[in-house]
Amino acid sequence: MNKLVIALLFASLSANASEEAILPIQALWAEIKYQVPEKQQAARYHALAEQAGQLVAAQPDDVEARIWHGIALSSEAGAKGGLGALSIAKAAKQQLEDAIQLDGNALKGSAYTSLGTLYYKVPGWPIGFGDKQRAEELLKKALTINPMGIDPNYFYAEYLYERERHVEALRHLDTALKAPARPGREVADAGRRKEVQNLIAKVKKDME
């Protein structure tokens, strides 16, 4: 077996090992998000972020591990809330920016979606790094990579709703409902579709 074949085989094994490590993190995130009581979520997300952080420490160039570390941290920040969550949000921002530097297209642009969401949910200067214009740029970038995805359409719609751009929001929510199912992400898909439906109801009520 020549050196090239050995190198390719090693790369394949490493990728498979990484994928196997990421799958339980995805499953645990969905379980926490949609099945755990809200008061218990911050602690559970913290544990999940530590688990993802260990993967990043072991494989610094694993972009998927960095994305999920960022998602876990941003979810922890959202569940914790308040000024105490800002340092966690900043850590999430760093992980997602690093992931984009490695490969912005990884996981269908999920780093752009999560980073854009952080930018519109975190307070702006002088408290935090929030920036509505930057948020829209990132969310639009996510949509160019994954135009039919449930997550980028939902989060951009949520952004548009908060900016009182209701017609645009409904268009993206309709796309989110039609998004193809993600194998192995059944819990996440079901939970997100419920959020999409709830936001549609809120948008239509505000338009009455």
Half-sphere exposure of 38 (CA within 13 A, CB side): 4
pLDDT digits (tens, 9 = 90+) for 113-139: 999 999 999 999 989 999 999 999 999
Is residue 43 in some structural domain? yes
Is residue 204 in some structural domain? no
Is residue 67 in some structural domain? yes
Residue by residue, pLDDT tens for the chain (208 residues) are: 444 433 333 343 344 346 678 899 999 999 999 999 999 999 999 999 999 999 999 999 999 999 999 999 999 999 999 888 999 999 999 999 999 999 999 999 999 999 999 999 999 998 999 999 999 999 999 999 999 999 999 999 999 999 999 999 999 999 999 999 999 999 999 999 999 999 999 999 999 8
Is the preceding omega at residue 123 within 30 degrees of 0, hence cis?
no
**Counting runs of H as helices and runs of E as strands, what totals does the chain give?**
9, 0
Is residue 100 in some structural domain? yes
Is residue 54 in some structural domain? yes
Is residue 162 in some structural domain? no
Domain region containing 96: 1-106
As a whole number of angstroms, the distance between CA 102 and CA 25 comes to 20
pLDDT digits (tens, 9 = 90+) for 129-170: 999 999 999 999 999 999 999 999 999 999 999 999 999 999
As a whole number of angstroms, the distance between CA 104 and CA 127 comes to 28
- Count of domains in the chain? 1
Half-sphere exposure of 32 (CA within 13 A, CB side): 24
pLDDT at 8: 36
Is residue 18 in some structural domain? yes
